[in-house]
Amino acid sequence: DELSRLFERLNKQYPGGDVGLFSIYFFNYIILNPGDAILLKANIPHAYLHGECIECMACSDNVVRAGLTPKFKDISTLIDMLDYAPLTIEQTKFRGKKTSENTTQFDPKQVSNIDDFIVEEIKGKNGIINAIDQPSLMIIVQGQGTMNEGKIHFNEANVFLIDKHTSIDFTSDNHLLAYRAYSLIQ
């Protein structure tokens, strides 16, 4: 079955009997596809096992490890801090919603009462990034081109602070993939 194959893969990736291998039988094993998102509240154990994702989180010190890592493990702290309430996949996983031709919005309020932040995926050869009422951070994941009528050049891995009430036009030489995050806390 799928968990047995996962166990074998992780055992090869973390040889030597890593205790984290057995955690897969106690977690929800969730596969995210492009356009999917997941909300993990504070003190919920999780692990990214394969692939790439964008992670946006509130200010936190939640990096406490117990397995599946070569880094320092602090099992007793992790046991004390965890939230052990059961959750279903439906309580955490959601899809982005298209808000404009180039923008898909991932809003945690779809599955919770958390309204701390929103993440937007911005794609396309050219278009407009709409103004919002908060400052935001945007990271260019793929593409190169110009913004604001050619005044600003962007490349992969560039990060921009966008002032509130500021819209941005962009033209990409190939295909832009960017993510913008902003806080809703006033």
pLDDT in tens, 134-182: 999 999 999 999 999 999 999 999 999 999 999 999 999 999 999 999 9
Q: Is the pLDDT of residue 61 over 90?
A: no
The pLDDT of 115-128, averaged and rounded, is: 95
Domains, the chain, with CATH or none: 2-94 (no CATH), 96-183 (2.60.120.10)
Alpha helices in the chain (DSSP H): 2-13, 75-81
Confidence of residue 63 (pLDDT cuts 50, 70, 90): confident
Residues known to be catalytic: 65
The pLDDT of 50-64, averaged and rounded, is: 82
Which of these, 28, 36, 179, 142, lies nearest to 96 by C-alpha position?
A: 36
How far apart CA 110 and CA 95 sit, in angstroms, is: 9
Nearest 5 degrees, angle CA 41-CA 43-CA 44? Answer: 65
Tell me, rounded to whole angstroms, the distance of Cα 172 from its chain centroid.
23
Q: Is the pLDDT of residue 44 over 90?
A: no
Supply the pTM of this predicted model.
0.88
Cβ-Cβ contacts under 8 Å for 105 (sequence gap 6 or more): 96, 97, 98, 99, 118, 119, 120
Q: Is the pLDDT of residue 64 over 70?
A: yes
User: pLDDT (tens digit, 9 = 90+) per residue, 90-105?
Assistant: 999 999 999 999 999 9
Nearest 5 degrees, angle CA 131-CA 137-CA 139? Answer: 110
How would you classify the pairing of strands 145-147 and 168-183? antiparallel
pLDDT score, position 45: 84
Q: What are phi and psi of 75, to 5 degrees?
A: -65, -40
